[in-house]
């Protein structure tokens, strides 16, 4: 039963990793941009939620009502103001600019909030659980997190395949030049994709802050988990990203059980194995 | 005297004046000037590398590096980007079809109507024109045969209800029977007063299907006019530069 528990807890942690990864997957899928600042944006949003909770007294999860639209507006402006200028045939400019953004965010947060750990307190939700099986307890918070991850990915999937905006995302991803011939303004399409990404990042950031303590330096680690989930699941495949997050979470759980110091190492090893034998991931997006 | 010189400016849907265009540092178009009347179908012929597709891309806003003027419906469009030009009423059916791989046939067509210009073309009319597309509306566009993909590309262009459609290499890579079928539909496609510029390697078919022609050679116009005014030898000389 010990291993069943480890696997179930790993699956639930995978939900958080999938939330970290969904935005990365979306942005890579639409505009082939690898956002090095993704993890730092998650942490910055956690700080934003921290400030809003302190200022308004809202429950951290209720703060999403304010955090999500603010993050989306920031994402739209970031893309229109900076990132659109870096996109082209050369992949280096967006990498360098988002790397620079990562440095700026980390140092900005350090200046404003110091290096002290912070956490979003949710009271009983953090510690509450129910028994699923003898020896297997499910925490309310990890379960909620996992359900939200599934809902977010289902929502993104619906948006991508059932709406005009999703059609525009897919067309621009397939062939940006021809998409312009259909009347699509790529700069706006990319900006809406980044706004959507930051909306997902906002949810990930709040759940990060609720689940664990954070400081300005933890962003790159979240980027690695997100990146590994995307690669394991398959580039540009949202459901694959969820599976990737779950595999990473389970691997880390098993690693931690074998040796507490091997938790992250086990995840990295799984990632390397997938990279070696299935470089496009387990469920790469199929093209026509 | 050019046939266009007899016509007032308001009769023209497109006027191109002293157009020069570049791919990077390579100059491809060298001071082209011509005009197209409303409802007219113009064949653009010339050997590979003559600059035919470049001219269409310049009109459609896909080549940013150009000088000279392009007037469409009385407005300059040479400084506009492709998505603004399609909204003005110019649709380009690109060489090689370039359907969106992750979109179904119907989604490709709907995307063509993104600009929502008023006009006769909608999904039902496209399916009337190409019934096979109605039967295959839910399959990925790129899974169709070459001829069917060309129908989707034409339908996608028509869905924007353009005033001018630019058809680049309609017959490229298609079987002769399919080419014949598509050309048989050309009068229906341009039957609503739609103007068209048709780039075609098959010179005889192009000249037989259009009102006027422009022959291009190395980025310049080497001959223009009404096909019947010229002998085959004159057109061949302009085509090959002999």
Can you give the pLDDT at residue A287? Answer: 46
Cβ-Cβ contacts under 8 Å between A and B: the total is: 73
Residue B167, strand partner residues: B93, B198
- Asked if the model's pLDDT at residue B170 lies above 50, the reply is yes
The mean pLDDT of chain B is 89
Say if the Cβ atoms of B94 and A178 lie within 8 Å. yes
Evaluate the CA torsion angle A106, A111, A113, A118 in order and state its sign.
positive
Give the per-residue pLDDT at B93. 96
pLDDT of residue B9: 61
Q: What is the ipTM of this complex?
A: 0.90
pLDDT of residue B242: 65
Average pLDDT over residues B104-115: 95
B44, B164 contact by CB (below 8 A): no
Split at pLDDT 50, 70, 90, the class of B3 is very low
Pick the closest to residue A135 from A281, A275, A3 (CA basis).
A3
**Position B2 pLDDT exceeds 60:** no
CA B218 – CA B238 distance, rounded (Å): 11
Comparing CA positions, the residue from A15, A43, A18 lying closest to residue A202 is A43
Report the pLDDT value the prediction gives residue A132, as an integer from 0 to 100: 86
In this prediction, residue B25 carries a pLDDT of 86
Q: Which residues of A touch B166 (CB under 8 A)?
A: none
Q: In which band, very low, low, confident or very high, does the pLDDT at B231 lie, cut at 50, 70 and 90?
A: confident
Q: Indicate the burial class of A112 (C-beta count within 10 angstroms; 0-12, 13-18, 19 or more).
A: exposed
Encode pLDDT of B32-59 as tens digits. Answer: 999 999 999 999 999 888 899 999 999 9
Q: List Cα–Cα distances, A24 to A15, A33, A225, in angstroms.
A: 15, 9, 11
Which residues of chain B neighbour A167 with C-beta distances below 8 Å? 103, 107, 110-111
pLDDT of residue A288: 36
The DSSP result for B174-235, as a single string, is: --HHHHHHHHHHHHHHTTTS-EEEEE-S-HHHHHHH-SEEEEEETTEEEEEE-GGGS-HHHH
Say yes or no to pLDDT of B62 above 50: yes
- Spatial contact of A19 and A202, defined as CB atoms under 8 Å apart: no
Residue of A nearest to B87 (CA): A183
B160 touches B86 (CB < 8 A): yes
pLDDT of residue A236: 75
Express as a percent the part of chain B with pLDDT over 90. 62
Cβ distance B101 to A174 less than 8 Å, yes or no, reads yes
Q: How confident is the model at residue B7 (pLDDT cuts 50, 70, 90)?
A: low
**What is the structure's pLDDT at A272?**
95
When scoring A161, A181, A187, A235 by the number of chain B Cβ atoms within 10 A, the one with the most, hence best to mutate, is A181
Q: pLDDT of B185-217, one tens digit each? A: 888 888 878 999 999 888 888 888 888 999 999
Report the CATH number that the domain containing residue B217 is assigned in CATH.
3.40.50.300
Inter-chain residue contact A183 with B92, CB threshold 8 Å: no
Residue B1 has pLDDT above 80, yes or no: no
Range of the domain at B13: 3-240
- What's the whole-model pTM score? 0.90
Among B111, B112, B138, B161, the residue to mutate for chain A (most A Cβ within 10 A): B111
Cα A19 off chain centre by? 4
User: Count of domains in chain B?
Assistant: 1
Q: Rounded to an integer, what distance in angstroms lies between the CA atom of residue A64 and that of residue B166? A: 49
* 8-state DSSP, B21: E
Low-confidence ranges of chain A (pLDDT < 50): 287-288
Whether the CB-CB separation of B59 and B16 falls below 8 Å is answered with yes
> In the prediction, which pLDDT does A127 show?
86
The CATH-assigned architecture of domain A2-130+140-277 is Orthogonal Bundle (1.10)
User: Mean of the pLDDT values across residues B100-115?
Assistant: 95
Nearest CB to B110; choose among A167, A185, A285: A167
C-alpha of A145 from chain center:
12
Identify the pLDDT of residue B237. Answer: 81
A187 → chain B, closest CA residue: B83
Which of B162, B50, B141, B43 minimizes the C-alpha distance to B97?
Answer: B141
Min distance A29 CA to chain B CA atoms (Å): 12
> Which residues in chain B touch residue A188, judged by CB atoms under 8 angstroms apart?
none
């Amino acid at each position: 039963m010990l291993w069943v528990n480890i696997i179930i807890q790993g699956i639930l942690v995978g939900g958080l990793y999938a939330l970290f990864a969904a935005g990365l997957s979306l942005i890579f899928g639409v505009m082939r941009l690898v956002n090095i600042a993704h993890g730092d944006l998650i942490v910055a949003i956690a700080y934003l939620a921290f400030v809003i909770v302190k200022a308004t007294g809202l429950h951290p999860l209720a703060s999403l009502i304010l955090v999500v639209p603010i993050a989306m507006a920031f994402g739209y402006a970031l893309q229109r103001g900076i990132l659109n200028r870096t996109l082209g045939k050369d992949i280096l400019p967006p990498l360098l600019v988002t790397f620079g953004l990562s440095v700026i965010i980390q140092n900005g947060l350090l200046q404003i909030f110091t290096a002290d750990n912070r956490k979003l307190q949710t009271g009983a939700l953090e510690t509450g659980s129910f028994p699923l099986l003898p020896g297997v307890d499910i925490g309310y918070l990890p379960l909620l997190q996992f359900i939200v991850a599934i809902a977010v990915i289902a929502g993104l999937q619906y948006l991508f395949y059932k709406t005009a905006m999703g059609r525009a995302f897919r067309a621009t991803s397939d062939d940006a030049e021809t998409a312009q011939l259909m009347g699509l303004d790529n700069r706006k399409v990319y900006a809406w994709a980044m706004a959507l990404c930051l909306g997902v990042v906002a949810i990930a950031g709040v759940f990060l802050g609720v689940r664990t303590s954070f400081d300005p330096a933890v962003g790159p680690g979240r980027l690695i988990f997100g990146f590994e989930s995307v690669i394991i699941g398959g580039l540009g495949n949202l459901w694959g990203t969820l599976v990737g997050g779950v595999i990473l979470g389970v691997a880390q759980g098993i690693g931690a059980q074998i040796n507490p110091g091997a938790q992250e190492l086990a995840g990295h090893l799984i990632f390397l194995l997938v990279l070696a034998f299935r470089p496009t991931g387990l469920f790469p997006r199929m093209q026509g | 005297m050019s046939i266009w010189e007899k016509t007032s400016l308001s009769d023209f849907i497109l006027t191109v004046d002293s157009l020069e265009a570049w791919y990077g540092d390579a100059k491809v178009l060298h001071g082209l000037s011509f005009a197209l009347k409303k409802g007219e179908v113009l064949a653009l012929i010339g050997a590979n590398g003559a600059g035919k597709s470049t001219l269409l891309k310049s009109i459609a806003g896909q080549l940013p590096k150009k000088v000279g003027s392009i007037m469409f419906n009385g407005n300059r469009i040479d400084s506009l980007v492709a998505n603004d030009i399609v909204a003005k009423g110019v649709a380009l059916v690109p060489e090689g079809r370039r359907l969106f791989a992750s979109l179904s046939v119907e989604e490709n067509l709907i995307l063509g109507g993104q600009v929502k210009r008023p006009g006769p073309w909608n999904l039902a009319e496209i399916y009337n024109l190409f019934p096979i597309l109605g039967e295959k509306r839910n399959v990925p566009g790129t899974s169709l045969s070459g001829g069917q993909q060309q129908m989707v590309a034409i339908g996608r262009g028509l869905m924007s209800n353009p005033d001018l459609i630019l058809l680049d290499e309609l017959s490229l890579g298609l079987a002769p029977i399919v080419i014949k079928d598509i050309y048989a539909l050309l009068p229906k496609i341009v039957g609503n007063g739609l103007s068209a510029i048709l780039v075609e390697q098959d010179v005889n078919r192009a000249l037989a299907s259009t009102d006027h022609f422009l022959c291009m050679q190395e980025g310049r116009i080497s001959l223009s006019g009404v096909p019947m005014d010229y002998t085959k030898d004159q057109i061949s000389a302009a085509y090959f530069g002999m």
